[in-house]
Each structure stands twice: as C-alpha cells, then as structure tokens.
Structure 1
C-alpha cells in the first residue's frame, strides 16, 4: 500500500502486540517503565504496523480493540471499536504514514469487527490532527498522569 505524501512504498500489515511495544514506549511514554505501555487486553487486540522498505521494525503502530463507546445513552449504542497506543517514529511524522495507518484501521474496524463508530482517547495536543482526519471530540477532558486527553470518534 502506498502513501500519497510519502515517496517510499509503505506496507501496512498485522503485527504482534510485542512488536508494537518498543515504538509505543519511545514515542508515547519514554519516561515510564516499558511495562506501562503493555496493555492487559493486548492479547485480544488487532495490532498493525506501517513498514518502510528494507525495515524489519515498524515505523508506525496502532492497536485495535472491540470496545463500546463510554457514554450513557438510553438509546441503541452503535457497534464500536477503539484504537489505542497509536505511535509514529518522530523522524517519519508529517509524511502521511500515520494517516495511512489510521485509515487502514478504520477499514479493518468496519469490515472485520463490524464497527459503526471508532473512538480513542486522544492527547489534547493531537486533537486537531484527528479532527483533520474526520474525527470529532466527545465527552469531557481528563488527565492521565500529567497529560490532558479528550475522547475522539468517527462514524465509519
């Protein structure tokens, strides 16, 4: 699969949860113990990596889970999927790699998990990036440690 903003061919493929850990750690929580980025539900998730040619390790990673929307609505809740631990190696950010990986996960969530909506806990500093890709904020802001978050969703 090619990436329109990146002249290098990009391959997006499933990968093991353990293959996502080093990049998750170095990008998202470099000052936390590496165990902090391993999720208890990782064994039940779908994990994907974006690989550049001649690279054995992923340049970007994302994990997808079946997870209901965290809302209290007396009406019918849509089938939902949640992505977590989305990280792109900083030297490769801004080249369309993350966008390609996110779009791939949107398709997989719809086709494989039957999701109607996909959501995530986004760092507030990244919310505009997600909004530019069609996601909208919902709920109240909250904190994980010293980082402020907002939930984002998109109907697929």
Structure 2
C-alpha cells in the first residue's frame, strides 16, 4: 500500500539505506518541509520511501530509498509507478531526479532519459534523469 509517510519514518529509512555512516542530519533536505513524503508499506511495514517536490509544472523526486532486504522485489518500482501516475494525473510536464550513475538502468525501465547534467557528491557520480509528458 502506498501512502503519505511521517517525516521521522522517512528520515530513518533514508539514513539506514543511503548514508548509514553519517549522522541522521545528513539526510535532511533544506526543503523537506515543503515536500510530500510517500512510501510503500508491506503488511504494515514501511519498506520504501521518496520525497516529492513541486516546481511549476515539474515534479522532482528525491531520496528514493528501499530497505536492503526488500530491494529487487518490486516495491520501489510500484512507488515510482505511483509517482508517474500522479504526475500524469496532475498534468506535470516533467518528472526528474538525480540518479547515481550505476542506478540509471532502473529508471530507464520507466522511460526516463539521461540529460547531459552530471555531477559528483560525496565521491559518487550522479546524472539528472527526466521523463517528459
């Protein structure tokens, strides 16, 4: 089941999945208070989260994280499908994200394309991916 998620739960999963070696404050985004935080619940357990940020007719999702023991089972895919349906229903022109280079194939399954915008953060290479409607 996909639902809005309490912010504290989002932070916990972000931290556990993305940057467990850092302090939890590291996964806080300055604009989190303006975001919509959603997640996938499997039998009442929150297993995947992401945060949505609206800017005019564009929708950005950030901090997409699925608990390691639930990766590869389709929960993240279901969450991303929900985002794309939401974007289509709300008539957004573009959905985009910052993706680690090694994760781009996942997004390409959902018709995202790479832009020429590549950057590095914390020693990891990222590329901006987008899907236009």
Q: Is TM > 0.5 for Structure 1 vs Structure 2?
A: yes
User: What secondary structure does 1:40 align onto?
Assistant: coil
Match of residue 4 from structure 1: none
TM-score (norm 2): 0.93
Q: List runs of 5+ in structure 1 lacking aligned partners.
A: 1-10, 69-78
User: What secondary structure does 2:3 align onto?
Assistant: strand
Q: 2:97 aligns with which of 120, 134, 151?
A: 120
Q: List runs of 5+ in structure 2 lacking aligned partners.
A: none
Distance 1:43 1:128 in 2: 30
Match of residue 145 from structure 1: 122
RMSD value over aligned CA atoms? 1.4
TM-score (norm 1): 0.80
User: What secondary structure does 1:106 align onto?
Assistant: helix
Distance 1:48 1:81 in 2: 14
Distance 1:107 1:16 in 2: 22
Q: Does 2:68 align with 1:90?
A: yes
TM-superposed deviation, 1:138 = 0.3
TM-superposed deviation, 1:109 = 2.9
Match of residue 46 from structure 1: 36
More strand by share: 2
Match of residue 31 from structure 1: 21
